[in-house]
């Protein structure tokens, strides 16, 4: 009998579980066992799915047939119209592919694409492991803390020019996980021009687009329509991560890539759940209720993000105020440098210490491709009862800001967690 390890492909054998998911499951198990841990690890919306979507899902529960592999035509049409309206690009139902999560679609795209992955770091956790699993080369561009961890055009130009031209896929995610930051339209235009000049394929990951805190999300596809695939889904903006539905929207010019993705889909997941697709039509067709929901969700996230960043900054932590989504990416290095005592070997050791001492769980920066020794970590500021917060913010007049009193009352677990981190940093200064 050969050794069990001989049965495993070495690439799969070397793959660890996604850090954010594994950590979150670990923390959840400890919470269920009664430990009072603040879970700022999982990138999951705390808000309930809009009621009309839940009703549509209930109504569609009997829809038991396989759906078309590319996705239900009515849903693809709704997605294309949504993208046209929101991003100001021309797309039709034929340009859209539906899958069981945008993560799965990204994996299929990386599978059919022959070339290198180009990605700025910090980057969302699954992008690079997928490429490694498929044996792709990865060109990581280390963004700088002083640039708010955003990709600067000069850095992209330099990285691309340093190698001979070859097929390359740039994955650009904004508003960003883990940064909570996004690009201005003029920055997107500059990045688009470089991508165009170097003939990159761009996967524009906009799963947090609708959670731009001011509702002003713009897409790089507007400036490089022929080379950009837009990625979106239900997971973040309507809080339905567990429903598992994602969409890729291709330009006409990339139809052969779309066809290849659909062929692989037909040989792997076959189709996306029919009831979920029916309910997703409600989200993408939109309506007043969905707009109202988004308005209130953005109000809470924006106020809590600002509070979290400011509070951490006041303790000497380097972080930017988020402009979208629900993350703050914090560099504890400057605050730790001022403190006495232990020297931390890296972000993983720091997060383990924070969990032990403060009972706040964070994801270490190393999980997002940052250097091991950098003392960075991601806070997902979502540990609160989103249904209650949504109900409470709904009665505050639109023009009135969501203040700290509201946050202390309705987002208390997250606020407490941030305070505990601050107290821990303070106690080390004395
Ligand atoms: C930046 C980013 N892209 C994609 C995904 C995957 O989303 P989905 O649930 O659509 O697979 C996530 C999930 O956390 C994410 O943060």
Q: Is the CB of 207 under 6 A from ligand 1?
A: yes
Question: DSSP letter string over 328-349?
Answer: EEEE-HHHHHTS-SPPP-SHHH
Domain with CATH 3.90.1150.10 in the chain: 4-48+289-427
For atom 6 of ligand 1, which residue has the closest CA?
103
Residue 430's pLDDT is 62
Q: Is the CB of 236 under 6 A from ligand 1?
A: no
Residue 344's pLDDT is 75
Query: 324: CA distance to ligand 1 center in Å?
Result: 14
Tokens representing 66? 């396989």
Residue 148's pLDDT is 85
- Walking along the chain (430 residues) 10 residues at a time, the average pLDDT comes out as 84 82 84 90 95 98 97 98 96 98 98 96 92 95 90 96 92 97 97 97 98 98 98 97 98 98 98 98 98 98 98 95 97 80 81 93 94 94 98 95 97 97 86
Tokens representing 46? 């705390």
Give the C-alpha separation, 276 to 245, whole Å: 7
* Angular region, 264: left φ>0, alpha ψ -120 to 50, beta rest: alpha
Pick the CATH number of 4-48+289-427 from 3.90.1150.10, 3.40.50.1240, 3.20.20.140, 3.20.20.80: 3.90.1150.10
Residue 340's pLDDT is 63
Residue 1's pLDDT is 72
Query: 175: CA distance to ligand 1 center in Å?
Result: 12
Residue 342's pLDDT is 66
Residue 115's pLDDT is 94
Fold observed for domain 64-285: 3.40.640
Cβ atoms of 119 and 174 closer than 8 Å: no
Residue 5's pLDDT is 80
Domain with CATH 3.40.640.10 in the chain: 64-285
Question: DSSP letter string over 163-222?
Answer: S----EEEEEESS-TTT-----HHHHHHHHHHHHHTT-EEEEE-TTGGGBTTS----GGG
Nearest one of 194, 185, 245, 234 to 211, comparing CA atoms:
234
Give the C-alpha separation, 56 to 75, whole Å: 13
């Amino acid at each position: 009998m050969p050794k069990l390890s001989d049965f495993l492909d070495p690439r799969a054998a070397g793959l660890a579980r996604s850090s954010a998911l594994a950590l979150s499951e670990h923390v959840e198990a400890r919470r269920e066992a009664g430990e009072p841990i603040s879970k700022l690890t999982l990138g999951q919306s705390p808000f309930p799915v809009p009621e009309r979507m839940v009703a549509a899902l209930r109504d569609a529960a009997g829809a038991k047939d396989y759906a078309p592999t590319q996705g239900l035509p009515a849903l693809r049409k709704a997605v294309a119209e949504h993208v046209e309206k929101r991003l100001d690009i021309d797309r039709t139902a034929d340009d859209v592919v539906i899958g069981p999560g945008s993560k799965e679609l990204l994996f299929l795209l990386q599978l059919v694409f022959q070339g290198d992955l180009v990605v700025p770091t910090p980057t969302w956790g699954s992008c690079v492991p997928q490429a490694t699993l498929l044996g792709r080369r990865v060109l990581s561009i280390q963004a700088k803390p002083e640039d708010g961890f955003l990709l600067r055009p000069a850095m992209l130009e330099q990285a691309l020019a340093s190698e001979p031209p070859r097929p390359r896929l740039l994955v650009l995610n904004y508003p960003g996980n883990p940064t909570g930051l996004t690009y201005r339209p003029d920055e997107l235009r500059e990045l688009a021009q470089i991508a165009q000049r170097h003939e990159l394929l761009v996967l524009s990951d906009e799963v947090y687009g609708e959670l731009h805190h001011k509702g002003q999300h713009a897409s790089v596809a507007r400036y490089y329509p022929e080379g950009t695939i837009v990625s979106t889904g239900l997971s973040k903006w309507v809080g339905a991560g567990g429903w598992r539905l994602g969409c890729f929207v291709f330009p006409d010019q990339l139809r052969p890539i779309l066809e290849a993705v659909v062929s692989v889909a037909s040989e792997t997941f076959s189709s996306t759940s029919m009831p979920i697709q029916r309910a997703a039509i409600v989200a993408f067709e939109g309506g007043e209720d969905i707009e109202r929901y988004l308005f209130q969700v953005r109000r809470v996230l924006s106020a809590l993000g600002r509070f979290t960043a400011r509070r951490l900054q006041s303790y000497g932590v380097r972080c930017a105020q988020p402009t979208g989504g629900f993350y703050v990416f914090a560099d504890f290095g400057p605050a730790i440098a001022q403190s006495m005592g232990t020297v931390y070997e890296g972000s993983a050791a720091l997060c383990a210490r924070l969990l032990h001492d403060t009972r706040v769980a964070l994801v270490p920066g190393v999980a997002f491709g940052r250097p091991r020794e950098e003392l960075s970590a991601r806070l997902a500021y979502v540990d609160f009862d989103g249904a209650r917060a949504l109900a409470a913010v709904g009665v505050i007049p639109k023009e009135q800001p969501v203040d700290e009193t509201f946050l202390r009352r309705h987002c208390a677990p997250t606020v407490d967690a941030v305070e505990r981190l601050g107290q821990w940093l303070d106690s080390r200064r004395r």
